[in-house]
Structure 1
Amino acid sequence: MAELKRTPLFPVYKEYGGKTIDFGGWELPVQYTSILEEHEAVRTRAGLFDVSHMGEITVKGNDALANIQKWITNDASKLSVNQALYSPMCYDNGGCVDDLLVYKRDENDYLIVVNAANIEKDYDWMLKHSFGDVEISNISSQVAQLALQGPLAEKILQKLTDIHLTDIKYYWFRQNVPVAGIPALVSRTGYTGEDGFELYVDKDLAIDLWQKILEAGKEEGIVPVGLGARDTLRFEARLPLYGQEINETITPIEAGLGFFVKLDKGDFIGRDVLAKQKEEGAPRKLVGFEMIERGIPRTHYEVQVEGKRIGEVTSGTFSPTLKKNIGLAIVAAEHAQIGNEIDILIRNKKVKAVIVPTPFYKRKK
């Protein structure tokens, strides 16, 4: 069996009670205390995540933007320096290579953050589809990433830095910010549906920063958070998980990410298929549902209507915030109307559910 990869923060997991699992080849904490407690802490106070397994790729040169525009569906030409955007990156068939964040650090200098399981694949894809004056580097092994999320995230982080965090708007960032004396790229982004920040630092400074943030947030009730609550939090906010809501066969249009597909920006990989789906409607649609009868839906469970398969569950769980069993499913478009009843096959037994609006959870601004 291949040895599991570890982040720079691995040595301190045990100190906080971290229980680790194999997550796509990484040994990461699924929880520290309990998933429910950690979930609730992020929704009401603040939680700190080690997300150093995520990948970082730099793209530099006179043709950096032109290359990025070819790879992604969103329009990076609209970015100002110190602004970020979210985008799918597609194959020719419209399916997703990955979903990622693009940070514009300077003219002709971009940082792309990709999913952990896709680092090599994405890097190879970018190299294969690169042209002109561009330098593409995979710097993942040099960078650690922490995510501080929750309504009290700004209050806690402000104790550790002199820059005014209120000046960093959603999907904007600042570079070389001293946080407890540690230089960090501080970005107002996250994957929980809450306000918060993602901090990128040199891998050797990660443990120091982790400890200082937890110390600074003691009064506010900050907790370290594992992958379990990261998943329930993103899921309630209907944020897609690569390999579930999007993959090589599910397009951004089918996944409800059409807003991030900018057809008017010019050509990009997968454009023809996505343009057709935008115009004619996609054959499938990602929907949210709530269980009417008892049962917890899980990934790949079959979805039926009148005994006929119409799709499958992409994510499902008990929602700690709503106290209900809910799920997301990719289904044939003709069955995707809100209010439609569907059956989820749980251990070969039909269990009733109803299609509901999403996101399941929206924070109060």
Structure 2
Amino acid sequence: MENVKKTILYDAHIKQNAKMIEFAGWMMPVEYEGLTIEHDAVRNNAGLFDVSHMGEVEVTGPDALNYVQRLITNDAEKLEDNQVLYSLMCYSDGGIVDDLLVYRFNKEKFLLVINAANIEKDYDWMLLNKGDFDVCINNISSEISEVALQGPKAQEILQRLTNYNLDEIKFFYFAEDIEICKVKCIVSRTGYTGEDGFEIYTSNENIEKIYNCILDEGKAFGLKAAGLGCRDTLRFEACLPLYGNEISRDITPLEAGLGYFVKLDKKDFIGKEALVKQKSEGLKRKLVGFEMIDKGIPRHGYDVLIDDRKIGFVTTGYLSPTLKKCIGLAMVDIDYSNIGCEFNVAIRNKTSRAKVISKKFYEKKYKK
């Protein structure tokens, strides 16, 4: 455990009696008052997450735009300055390196925000594919800390701590040098919960001030410190993918239902040829949403069966705190992916019936 990293806010979590776990090589809070309490706070009021374990890679130079365009599946050329783009990075065979957020400052400066578990792997991949592009690629993850303020009251709380008009930050846009509690930050209208909210980046030395300031101001609005436990249930209800579950080295974006973020009409990107081929030949499997008919909570990794034949596996499953029913996502053979199809989920030592439903478990509440 001596190699496990701690965010700058580790002591703040301990003071709040957070239950800590190891996640992606970091000691992180999984819950404070309880997963359901924190989940409900985000859905109804607001929650504050420490997401300082996330990775940040800065790409600068004359060829920054062209390099990023080659690296990702989405279309970076359509980005305006101060706009954010969700995308994936793929291997040449179409498998997923990672999903990420692309922040465009200008055509010669981008910030790529990547998953904590993949920082070293992603950075190596970026360097490996630098080619002849005139760019500098810098892993600045250790220099930046981040918190996420999420929920319907997020703007009301944050607005009390800044003179910047937050209405000016549209969905998937950001602003630089915003003063929050008199500390300069990058603030984006993004998140991982299906709710309106903001992700706030600042220097390590200032993050604790920001964190405590938001917590104090938010108490009157029902704000709760929120852990990784409800971060997972929230993103799952909103059908947002998690690396290692819905997306991975062995899953393509098309299989994961993320084709919208794969622009096959782009001139070129790593993995394009394989994905064009997969689309033209037709998918052999697909990510679906499902609801349990029988009792039982589906969990990540459980087998999906027709009779005794495995046709897939559960990627994520929960008793949904919002919907109060057992639902899940599963990668299944294409023949069993239509709405209404029934299959069995192997839960412990028995099989339980389930049926395919829309993946739109929860209507997202983004502020457009």
What TM-score bracket applies, with the shorter chain setting the length?
Answer: over 0.9
What is the correspondence of 1:296-307 to structure 2 with a 5 Å cutoff?
Answer: 296-307=297-308
Q: What's the CA shift for 1:281? A: 2.4
Q: What's the CA shift for 1:167? A: 1.4
Q: Which residue of structure 2 lines up, in the alignment, with residue 43 of structure 1?
A: 43
| Runs of 4+ with deviation above 3 angstroms | none
CA contact (8 A) 1:87 1:101 kept: yes
What is the correspondence of 1:1-365 to structure 2 with a 5 Å cutoff?
Answer: 1-131=1-131, 132-364=133-365
TM-score by structure 1 length?
0.98
Instruction: Spell out, residue by residue over 1:133-188, the C-alpha distance to the aligned partner (whole angstroms, 9 max, x if none).
Output: 10000000000010000000000000011111111111000001001101000000
Deviates more, 1:133-142 or 1:263-272: 263-272
Question: 2:156 is paired with a residue of what secondary structure?
Answer: helix
Deviates more, 1:162-171 or 1:146-155: 162-171
Q: Give me the whole-angstrom Cα distance separating, in 2, the residues matched to 1:263 and 1:339.
A: 30
Q: Give me the whole-angstrom Cα distance separating, in 1, the residues matched to 2:321 and 2:356.
A: 19
Q: What's the CA shift for 1:2? A: 4.7
Q: Give me the whole-angstrom Cα distance separating, in 1, the residues matched to 2:152 and 2:141.
A: 29
Instruction: Spell out, residue by residue over 1:291-336, the C-alpha distance to the aligned partner (whole angstroms, 9 max, x if none).
Output: 1111111111000112211000001111000001111000111110
**Letter paired with 1:27:** M
Q: Give me the whole-angstrom Cα distance separating, in 2, the residues matched to 1:364 and 1:14.
A: 32
Q: What's the CA shift for 1:359? A: 1.9
Q: Give me the whole-angstrom Cα distance separating, in 2, the residues matched to 1:27 and 1:334.
A: 42
Q: Give me the whole-angstrom Cα distance separating, in 2, the residues matched to 1:318 and 1:5.
A: 31
Q: Give me the whole-angstrom Cα distance separating, in 2, the residues matched to 1:205 and 1:268.
A: 38
**Letter paired with 1:47:** G
CA contact (8 A) 2:305 2:346 kept: yes
Q: Unpaired segments of 5 or more residues in structure 1?
A: none
Instruction: Spell out, residue by residue over 1:328-361, the C-alpha distance to the aligned partner (whole angstroms, 9 max, x if none).
Output: 0001111100111110001131100111101211
Q: What's the CA shift for 1:364? A: 4.9
CA contact (8 A) 2:64 2:107 kept: no
Q: Give me the whole-angstrom Cα distance separating, in 2, the residues matched to 1:317 and 1:77.
A: 38
Q: Give me the whole-angstrom Cα distance separating, in 2, the residues matched to 1:73 and 1:348.
A: 41
Q: Give me the whole-angstrom Cα distance separating, in 2, the residues matched to 1:234 and 1:153.
A: 17
CA contact (8 A) 1:258 1:278 kept: no
Q: Once superposed, what is the RMSD of the aligned Cα atoms?
A: 1.0
Q: Give me the whole-angstrom Cα distance separating, in 2, the residues matched to 1:90 and 1:310.
A: 25
Question: 1:218 is paired with a residue of what secondary structure?
Answer: helix
Q: Give me the whole-angstrom Cα distance separating, in 2, the residues matched to 1:280 and 1:175.
A: 45
Question: 1:157 is paired with a residue of what secondary structure?
Answer: helix
Instruction: Spell out, residue by residue over 1:171-214, the C-alpha distance to the aligned partner (whole angstroms, 9 max, x if none).
Output: 00000100110100000000000000000000110100000001
Q: Give me the whole-angstrom Cα distance separating, in 2, the residues matched to 1:24 and 1:202.
A: 21
**Letter paired with 1:52:** S
Q: Give me the whole-angstrom Cα distance separating, in 2, the residues matched to 1:101 and 1:34.
A: 29
Q: Give me the whole-angstrom Cα distance separating, in 1, the residues matched to 2:60 and 2:130.
A: 12
Question: 1:287 is paired with a residue of what secondary structure?
Answer: strand
Q: What's the CA shift for 1:101? A: 0.3
Q: Give me the whole-angstrom Cα distance separating, in 2, the residues matched to 1:244 and 1:293.
A: 23
Q: Give me the whole-angstrom Cα distance separating, in 1, the residues matched to 2:198 and 2:158.
A: 9
Deviates more, 1:13-22 or 1:79-88: 13-22
Q: What's the CA shift for 1:215? A: 1.1
Q: Give me the whole-angstrom Cα distance separating, in 2, the residues matched to 1:247 and 1:138.
A: 22
Instruction: Spell out, residue by residue over 1:264-285, the C-alpha distance to the aligned partner (whole angstroms, 9 max, x if none).
Output: 1111111011112233322110
Q: Give me the whole-angstrom Cα distance separating, in 1, the residues matched to 2:44 and 2:301.
A: 31
Q: What's the CA shift for 1:42? A: 0.1
Identity %: 54
Q: Give me the whole-angstrom Cα distance separating, in 1, the residues matched to 2:123 and 2:286.
A: 29
CA contact (8 A) 2:4 2:26 kept: yes
TM-score by structure 2 length?
0.98
**Count of equivalent residues:** 365
Instruction: Spell out, residue by residue over 1:58-95, the C-alpha distance to the aligned partner (whole angstroms, 9 max, x if none).
Output: 00001111111111100101111100000010001101
Instruction: Spell out, residue by residue over 1:241-277, the C-alpha distance to the aligned partner (whole angstroms, 9 max, x if none).
Output: 0011000010000000000000111111110111122
Question: 1:217 is paired with a residue of what secondary structure?
Answer: helix
